[in-house]
Homo-oligomer: A and B are copies of this chain.
Amino acid sequence: MSLPRTAIIGGRGKLGAAFAGLFEKAGCEVLIADHETELTPRQACAQADITIFSVPISVTPAVINEVAPAARPGSLLADLTSIKLPAMEALARSAPDGVEILGLHPLFGPQVVSHMAEQVIAVCPLKTGPRAEWLSNFLVQNGAHLKKTTPQEHDEMMAVIQGITHFSAIASGLALKKLGVDLEKTLAFASPIYELRLAMIGRILGQSPQLYAEIQIENPSTAVAVKAYKQAIDELSQTVDSSDEQAFQTIFREAADYLGSFKERASQMTDHVIDSMAAFDGTSETEK
């Protein structure tokens, strides 16, 4: 099969542009459609062998509904959205007969697209054929690890993987602000785990408020996960408020038991990471 002509709807966004670069590097013709391009999303889709939607979560279903009907039989519609159920429903509803459908969610940011060795892309194969097979192979050849799933399972997983992780980090940043903490001063006293945690908080808060709001709010499973986290916070803070060390230890053991043998691997992995942070500090020291 000749190289597919690929349309990226939202191709001027960071993630869309990164994927456009990947296809161009492979020699594909790439059509970029975005708010202010002369080429409209529908025109791009109508001319493409593969159309990839890379637009904000909240508008993804509407953009798909508008654009997907233009797809040619034998072409493929795919999307990169972080929440799969509404996007896949829109694709299923709007794609003409004979059009392939493949949902994709890269579990990493735009900066990783060019070197995605071992990084996960969740894949929802809805209607597959030669184009979907080509695209899957292309992603694997570029280093991605494809993890097959359903839209439902994906969204439930993301409520945990992204929902609680982001939520607790954003809340931690807000708590530091509320306390009026001097960050530089805390870093002078930092344990490696605090330094690492603050770096994760900073990484998340350095990204798009809109993307993070949408990941929290547009995925119905996230509200369930956040509710469980809030309950856990309430139970644990109750033990601190009442100075009940035994109750605190009981909750601690409950959570520790749940993690089981993963704790040992976690300890080894974080030892490795802490060593690597010392090397990072060393490098930046000589760069000053």
Chain A residues within 8 Å of B, Cβ to Cβ: 58, 107-108, 111, 117-120, 122, 147, 149, 154, 157-158, 160-162, 164-165, 167-168, 170-179, 181, 183, 185-186, 188-194, 196-206, 209-210, 212-214, 216-217, 222-237, 239-241, 243-246, 248-249, 251-256, 258-260, 262-273, 275-281, 284
Contacts and interface: CB of A to CB of B under 8 A. Distances in A.
24 contacts: A58-B245, A107-B191, A118-B278, A118-B281, A120-B188, A161-B194, A164-B172, A165-B193, A165-B197, A173-B259, A178-B228, A178-B231, A198-B262, A201-B259, A202-B270, A203-B266, A203-B267, A206-B264, A210-B245, A212-B248, A213-B248, A217-B245, A226-B240, A276-B276
Contacts of A199: 265-266, 269-270, 273
B273 A196 contact: yes
A244 to B, nearest CB: 8
A106 to B, nearest CB: 9
Nearest to A178: B228
Q: Is the interface of A mostly helix, strand, loop or mixed?
A: helix
Contact of A189 (B107, B170, B230): B107
Nearest to A161: B194
Given A203-B270, A206-B256, A175 B120 contact: no
Given A209-B253, A240-B217, A179 B224 contact: yes
Contacts of A223: 240-241
B252 A213 contact: yes
Contacts of A190: 107, 120, 161
Nearest to A189: B157
Contacts of A255: 170, 173-174, 176-177, 205
Contact of A188 (B147, B256, B272): B147
A181 B174 CA distance: 27
Nearest to A225: B179
B231 A237 contact: no
A230 B237 contact: yes
Nearest to A234: B230
A179 B240 contact: no
Given A186-B157, A230-B237, A258 B177 contact: yes
